[in-house]
Amino acid sequence: MAVKFQYNKTSLQSLDKQLKVRRRALPTLKNKESALRSEVKRAKDHAASLDKEFIEEMGRYENMVRLWGEFDQSLLRVVDVKLSVKKIAGVLTPVLDEVQFEMAPFHLFSKPLWFADGIAILKKLAEVAINREVYTRKMVLLDYARKKTTQKVNLYEKVQIPGFEDAMRKIKRFLEDEDNLSKSAQKIVKTRQEQEVES
């Protein structure tokens, strides 16, 4: 990225201000990046543990597959998933508060005895699966923010700060050369005037 500038003191001051802003912001951005990196890892680990828990729960009831064929799936349904929002390193992330279920009425005497246990099992499986999705979404949001922050850190560190420093160096050299030429010209004029006065 080429920094646009003019060879004057105003441009030099403007570049200096922009450089100071970026240098002050860089440590904060680096801290944010590392915080986001650790939060992404934490969310990823939690999502993986929920995934493992879901698979274990499903495996526990694998021997009951024939019974699940008899189960009336209309007895239980998810009505609402209540989420709240938590800010992590400036990123709004979802947090699961509650999963609300609606249970259709049924007669315990007309249905098999294990239906009540089946409803409890389905509730647990649904809550684990929904929580896993929430953590997966959280991980995606945090990872996106981490990538954007990393890009900004790299932009500042590798492109803008060196670009501003280079532009400022060029302006200073130009102004020094101009000042030296001006002084040399003044000396030449002064010596000519002195020579004219002498002759």
Give the domain ranges of the chain: 13-191
Span 53-81, mean pLDDT?
A: 76
Report pLDDT for 37: 94
Residues 6+ apart with CB under 8 A from 36: 88, 89, 91, 142, 143, 145, 146, 149
Average pLDDT, the chain: 87
pLDDT at 50 over 70: yes
Which pLDDT value is given to residue 197?
83
The predicted structure's pLDDT at residue 120: 82
Q: Which residues contact 73 (CB under 8 A, 6 or more apart)?
A: none
In 3D space, the residue among 1, 17, 160 whose CA is nearest the CA of residue 9 turns out to be 17
SS3 108: coil
What span, in angstroms and rounded, lies between the C-alpha atoms of 148 and 37? 12
Amino acid at residue number 105? P
88: β partners: 91
pLDDT value of residue 103:
81
Q: Which amino acid is at 96?
A: L
pLDDT attached to residue 39? 92
Give the whole-angstrom CA distance, residue 132 versus residue 148. 24
> If pLDDT is split at 50, 70 and 90, which confidence band does 68 have?
low
Q: What is the pLDDT of residue 113?
A: 64
Confidence label for 105 from pLDDT (cuts 50, 70 and 90): confident
Q: For residue 78, what pLDDT is reported?
A: 86
CATH 3.40.50.970 fits 13-191, yes or no: no
CB 3 within 8 A of CB 162: no
Cβ neighbours of residue 75 closer than 8 Å, sequence gap 6 or more: 103, 104, 106, 115, 119
pLDDT at 74 over 80: no
pLDDT exceeds 70 at position 111: no
Average pLDDT over residues 70-96: 85
Q: Could you tell me which of 87, 121, 71 has the C-alpha nearest to residue 101?
A: 121
Lowest mean pLDDT segment, chosen from 62-66, 88-92, 157-161, 184-188: 62-66
Place of tokens 């200073």: 172
